[in-house]
Amino acid sequence: MHNPAQPSKPAKKPMRAEMPTIAEWVDAMVAAFGKEEVHGQIRRGMAGEPCFFASENGHVIGTPPVRGRYLVRWDARDEAHVEPIDDGMPASTGD
């Protein structure tokens, strides 16, 4: 029984319950690419890099990309790095 004098512990993974479709997708990506690779991208997105963004049921995690065109490069450690392309072409409006 919960003692009201003591704060309750938060759920270990509350976002999994709040974002079940995203959690399922992340699980599939972990199965395909490995935990460190996928969780590393998520951590980078949460730190402000526009490499991971998810939204479900009014909950948002990560950093949304800025509209425009991007080039993705992989370094020697196979980490992806996103760079904007400034080629004079108009950015997509998403319409």
64 in helix, strand or coil? coil
Return the SS3 of 14: helix
Would you say residue 53 lies in a domain?
A: yes
Domain presence at residue 59? yes
Q: Is residue 3 part of a domain?
A: no
Per the CB < 8 A criterion, the answer to whether 26 and 46 are in contact is no
What would the two tokens of residue 30 be? 């972990």
**pLDDT for 85:** 81
pLDDT tens column, 37-95: 999 999 999 999 988 999 999 999 999 887 777 788 888 888 888 887 876 655 554 44
Inside any domain, residue 18: yes
Number of domains making up the chain = 1
Rounded Cα distance between 25 and 70, Å, is 23
Kindly indicate the confidence band of residue 31, based on its pLDDT and cuts at 50, 70 and 90: very high
pTM of the entire predicted model: 0.60
Q: Is residue 42 part of a domain?
A: yes
Domain for residue 57, yes or no? yes
Give the CA count within 13 Å in the CB-facing half-sphere of 51: 21
Residue 44 lies in a domain: yes
User: Which two tokens mark 38?
Assistant: 């996928």
Return the pLDDT at 10: 44
- Where in the sequence is the domain holding 19, given as residue range(s)? 14-65
